[in-house]
Structure 1
Amino acid sequence: LYLGAKCVFMSPMDFLQKPFRWLSAISKYKATISGGPNFAYDLCLKKITDEQKRQLDLSSWEVAFNGAEPVRYETIQKFAQAFKDCGFKLNQFFPCYGMAEATLFITGNEKLTKPVSKDFCKKSLLENKAIERPSNSEYSVKLVGCGMTWLDQKVEIVNTGSLSTCASNEIGEIWIKGTSIAKGYFGREQETNYAFNNTVKDTNENGFLRTGDLGFFHEGQLFVTGRLKDVIVMRGKNHYPQDIELTVEKADQAIISGASAAFSVDINEEEKLIIVAEIERKYRPRSHKEKELKGYLDNVLRNIRQQVMEEHEVQPYAIYLLKTSSIPKTSSGKIQR
C-alpha cells in the first residue's frame, strides 16, 4: 500500500498441499520479495521434482526472506544448490528476525549479500556462552546470523535473572525498542505490563519490549538461539528443542521433516524429555502388513533414542510416532510446542 507495489497473496494451506505453487507464483509474477519460515524451504527441497524445476525462473527473486524460526545453514545451502539452474543464487537469501509487536522487521542485512554464518562451541551454547570454534569440528555448530539493526531500532541482550545487559559473549533475552514497537496487547493488561516498557537495570534505560527470544550479538550480527519458554533445562544444561527436533528428523527416513516436537514435562519434580514425530503414510501399520511395519517402527524408535542420546546426552522419557498432520501448527506452519 505504501509503495504502490503489486502484491500477490497465497494461502499457507495451498503452499503446504503443494509447495511448487509458491515457487511457481514467484516465477509467474516475477516476484522480487517473498519468503517464509525455514521449514518452507525444506519442504520445497523435499517435494518439488526435477521436472517441476524446469518450469521455474527464480532470477527475479531479490529477497528470499527466511525468518520466524531458526535459520538452518544446511537448508539455505541445499536450497541454493538445488535451485541454481532455476536462476536462484545464495545471496538472494535474506535471513532476518522480527515479530508482530515490532511491526515485523527487527534485524536483517543489505539485500543481495551472502548470508553470514559462524561456528560456535556446542557445549558453550548449552551454558549460555557463545564462543567461536574452528569449522567442521565435532564440537562445533554452525549458526546463521539474522542481520543488524536498522534506523532507530535498538536491540539489547539482557540477562533474564538480573535484567542487566549481558557480557559480549553471553546468551540472553532479546529486548528491543524503537518507534515501530506497539504500545501493548489490546484488552490484555497483565501481558502488556510484563512484555512492554521494561527497564534495563544497569543502564536504567526504559521502553524495551521483552521478546521472549534468546540470542547474542557477534561481530554486529544478531544470532537467535531459541525461545525462552521452549528451552528444556535438564541436569543444569539448556537444550533448544529445535536442535533435538533436527536430530530426530535425521534419525530415520520414515520421519517427516519439519513435523516433530521436543518439549519437557514435570514428572515427580524432575524435567523429562518428550518427543513426538510424524511418520510418512507408507510407514504406518496397515492390517495386511502390521507385523512387518511394527518391527520397522520399533527400529525407528531405537534410532531416535540413540541419536538423541549421542548428540545431546539426554535420555528421552517417551517417544510417540504420530500419523501425518497430527501435530498442532500455527497458521504459518510453525510447530505449536
Structure 2
Amino acid sequence: MTGAMRPPTAEHRAQTVVGALLEQAADAPDQPAFHVIERSEEEFALTYADVGRLVGRAAAGLRAHGIGEGDRVLVVLPTSRDFLAVYLGCLYAGVVPVIAAEPTGANPHYAAHLRGLVEQAGATRVVAAPDLADSLAAFLPGAVTVTTPDALRGQPLTLDDPRATPASLAHLQATSGSTGAPKLAMVRHGNITANVRAIAEAIRAEPNDSLVSWLPLFHDMGLIGISYALHARIPMVLADPVNFLRNPMSWLRWISRHRGTLSPAPSSAFHICARVAKRRPPDDLDLSSWRVALCGAEPVHEATLREFQAAFGPFGLPETTLRPVYGLAETTLAATISDVDHPFSVDRVDAEAVSARGRAEPRPAGDPRSMSMMCVGPAVPGHRLRVVDPDGTPLPDRMIGEIEVAGPSVIDGYLPEPGAAQGASGAAQATSGAARAGSADERLKRPDGYLRTGDLGYQLDGELYVTGRRKEIVIISGRNYIPDQIERFVEAVAKSPRTPSVVAVGVPDPMLLTEQLHLLLDERIGEGRDRQAVADEVRGALAEAFGIGGVTFHWIRRAQLPRTTSGKIQRHLCRRMIEERPPFRRTDVPTRVTSGGAPDAG
C-alpha cells in the first residue's frame, strides 16, 4: 500500500478496533475485509490493505483541514467506501465522529434535528455527500463548515499507532429519542472493544464467520457491526439500507450468496421479509450458513419470529438462528444475548397479574388472559444484570422492576447539553476520559456502578424478559399497563396484517383523575371493514384480558405517527398530539386524528 504501515506496538494491539485493523493490515494485507454494496448497487471488494489506504488518506485529509484529536465532526454519509474512510479515519486520528441520518423526503423537522446535533456535539465541521453539501450548509450555523469526502482525500499518511487509547472517546452515539429528546452517549474505545469481545463470546464466534449487514450506520446496531468485524478479523458484507428498502429479499440473497453466518436486524425487518415471502415465495435461496441472527433494537415479537422461521425454514434456516437480544446505546450495543444453541423461548404470563401486582405469573398457552414475554437471555459475558425496585433493592425472579446493567461496555455518561456548567477544562477532560459528563449523568449510574436503563423487566433463572419503558407505562386506576403488550394484543384481536400498526398511550383524564387508554390504529387495519365493529371487538377483548374500559380510538395514517430517525414510535409525541386536540373529552367513540392533530368522526 502507498505509505509504510508499521505494526502496532503490543501496548495498543487489540485494545482498540482501529489497532486491530492496523495489525491485520500488516499481517494479512490481502485478506478480504469488506464487500461494500453501495446505494447504486455497485459492489466493491476491499482487502485490509485497501482499508488501510482509505484510512491513511482520510487521516491526512483531516489533518490538512485542521481537524485534530478531540475535535467533533458530524458525518452525514450513505453506507459506502467514503463512510468507511471517514469514520475509521476519525477513529485513527482521535477525532470524535457523530453519525447522523441523511434527510429522507420532505421532513420539516430534519433541519432542527441536525442543528441540534451540531450544537450539542460542539461540532464545527460536517462531512456530507456532494449532493447534500449545499442544502445542509443552508440551515447550519455560519461557523459550521460542510466538507465532502473528496476534499478529505490526501496523500496517505504512514500509519503507526493510532492516537486513540481505550479511555479516549471513540464516537458520540445519539440515543433513540423514543421517550424524549435524543442525548449523545459518550462511547469510548474501551467500551467498544469490551462489547464486541462480549458479543463474540456470547455467540460462540467461529474463525470462519462472516457478517452481513444493511443496517443504518447512524444506529449503534449498524455502526458497531463494523467494529465487530474488524476486531474479530472476519469479512463483512456492508450494504446500504436503501437497497433493503427497495427489495427486502435482497438481504437474504446477500446471506445466501456470500455464505453469511452472522446477520442482525430489528424485529420489523424479519416481519417484512416474512410478509413478502407469503406473496412471492423466493427460489434459489440457501440460508443454511446463517448461524446467528441477533434480533433487537425494538421489541421482539414471538409471532414475527415464528412467521419468519416458517417462511424460511424450508430454505435451510436453522431453528437456532433467531436470537432475541436486549441492548441500548448506553451499553455500547448488546446487554443480553439469548443462548445460541437452543431455539428462542417465551414465557406466557397472566396479563392481569402483570398490571395489578407487577408480577409475571405463569399462565397456560391459549388462555385469553395470557400474554407472551420474549426471553432475551442473560447478561453478555463479563457484565452483570439485575432487576430492582425504586429504591435499588434487587427483586426476586418474576417480579417486575427496572433493569440495571454493569460492566466495561457501560458508558460514563452523556455529553453535556450546550451551556451546561462543566468548568473551564470540562471539554478537554471529557475528551480525554478524565471527567464525568455533568450532573444528569450522576443519575445514570448508581454508586455501585450499575446503569439505570429506564427499562422494565423481570428475571427468571438468570435470564431477562423485557416488559417496557418506565416512562411509557400507562397507569389506570393504580394499575400499570405495558404499552407494547397492549399493542401486540390489539393487533392480534384486530387481525392486523402489519406490525407495528397500533400505538397505545395513556392520557390523564381530568374527570376521573387517572389515565385513560388511547389507541392510535393504522387506518389500513379498517380497510374493507366496519371500524366500529373492529373497535367493539377490541374493546371487549381488552376488558376481558386486562380489565381496561373507557378506551378511546383514533384512526390515523401511518405517516402521521411521530418516529425517531431509526423508526421507533415516539409515544410522548403521540400523547402530546392527543392532548393538544381541542377540546379534551372522555369518549368511547372511535375518532380519526387528522394531520392537524384534531380528531374527526371515524
Same topology, TM > 0.5: yes
Task: Specify whether residues 265 and 221 from structure 1 end up closer, same or farther in structure 2 by C-alpha distance, changes over 3 A only.
Answer: same
**Residue of structure 1 equivalent to 2:106:** none
Counterpart residue identity of residue 128, structure 1: G
**Residue of structure 2 equivalent to 1:220:** 462
**Residue of structure 2 equivalent to 1:144:** 374
Superposition deviation, residue 6 in structure 1: 2.4
RMSD of Structure 2 on Structure 1 (CA): 2.5
Structure 2 segments unaligned to the other structure (5+ residues): 1-229, 418-437, 572-602
Decide which moves more: 108-117 or 170-179: 108-117
**Residue of structure 2 equivalent to 1:287:** none
Counterpart contact for 1:278–1:326, Cα < 8 Å: no
Does the alignment pair 1:35 with 2:264? yes
2: CA distance, partners of 1:72 / 1:308: 19
SS in structure 2 of the partner of residue 114 of structure 1:
coil
Superposition deviation, residue 164 in structure 1: 1.4
**Residue of structure 2 equivalent to 1:252:** 494
Does the alignment pair 1:73 with 2:307? no
**Residue of structure 2 equivalent to 1:277:** 521
Does the alignment pair 1:153 with 2:387? no
Instruction: Deviation per CA, 1:54-88: give whole Å up to 9, x if none.
Output: 24221111111112233222322222122111111
Bigger strand fraction: 1
2: CA distance, partners of 1:306 / 1:328: 28
1: CA distance, partners of 2:552 / 2:363: 33
Counterpart residue identity of residue 300, structure 1: V
Superposition deviation, residue 240 in structure 1: 0.8
Task: Specify whether residues 86 and 329 from structure 1 end up closer, same or farther in structure 2 by C-alpha distance, changes over 3 A only.
Answer: farther
Does the alignment pair 1:300 with 2:534? yes
Task: Specify whether residues 198 and 9 from structure 1 end up closer, same or farther in structure 2 by C-alpha distance, changes over 3 A only.
Answer: same
Instruction: Deviation per CA, 1:201-258: give whole Å up to 9, x if none.
Output: xxxxx11110111111111211111111111111221111111111222233566421
2: CA distance, partners of 1:311 / 1:8: 45
Q: Report 1:81-160 matches (<5 A).
A: 81-126=310-355, 127-160=357-390
Counterpart contact for 2:477–2:514, Cα < 8 Å: no
Task: Specify whether residues 328 and 29 from structure 1 end up closer, same or farther in structure 2 by C-alpha distance, changes over 3 A only.
Answer: farther
Superposition deviation, residue 99 in structure 1: 1.1
Q: Report 1:187-336 matches (<5 A).
A: 187-188=416-417, 189-195=438-444, 197-199=445-447, 206-253=448-495, 256-268=498-510, 269-280=513-524, 283=527, 296-336=530-570
Structure 1 segments unaligned to the other structure (5+ residues): 200-205, 284-292
Superposition deviation, residue 275 in structure 1: 1.0
SS in structure 1 of the partner of residue 253 of structure 2:
helix
Counterpart contact for 1:259–1:327, Cα < 8 Å: no
Counterpart of 1:181 (choices 383, 399, 410) is 410
**Residue of structure 1 equivalent to 2:190:** none
1: CA distance, partners of 2:562 / 2:319: 32
2: CA distance, partners of 1:271 / 1:330: 25
Instruction: Deviation per CA, 1:133-178: give whole Å up to 9, x if none.
Output: 3444344333221111233211111102x22111333111011111
1: CA distance, partners of 2:344 / 2:250: 26
2: CA distance, partners of 1:69 / 1:225: 12
2: CA distance, partners of 1:46 / 1:316: 34
Task: Specify whether residues 329 and 11 from structure 1 end up closer, same or farther in structure 2 by C-alpha distance, changes over 3 A only.
Answer: farther
Instruction: Deviation per CA, 1:252-283: give whole Å up to 9, x if none.
Output: 35664213210111231421111112133993
1: CA distance, partners of 2:238 / 2:553: 38
Counterpart residue identity of residue 275, structure 2: K
1: CA distance, partners of 2:244 / 2:563: 14
2: CA distance, partners of 1:110 / 1:281: 36
SS in structure 2 of the partner of residue 2 of structure 1:
helix
Superposition deviation, residue 186 in structure 1: 1.0
Superposition deviation, residue 105 in structure 1: 1.2
2: CA distance, partners of 1:267 / 1:333: 29
Decide which moves more: 106-115 or 47-56: 47-56
Counterpart residue identity of residue 515, structure 2: E
Decide which moves more: 207-216 or 126-135: 126-135
Instruction: Deviation per CA, 1:290-322: give whole Å up to 9, x if none.
Output: xxx6x7333333333333333322135421112
Counterpart contact for 2:474–2:483, Cα < 8 Å: yes
1: CA distance, partners of 2:320 / 2:344: 7
Superposition deviation, residue 102 in structure 1: 0.8
Decide which moves more: 303-312 or 226-235: 303-312
SS in structure 2 of the partner of residue 9 of structure 1:
strand
Q: TM-score, normalised by structure 1?
A: 0.85
- Computing the radius of gyration from Cα coordinates, the structure with the larger value is 2
Q: TM-score, normalised by structure 2?
A: 0.49
**Percent identical:** 29
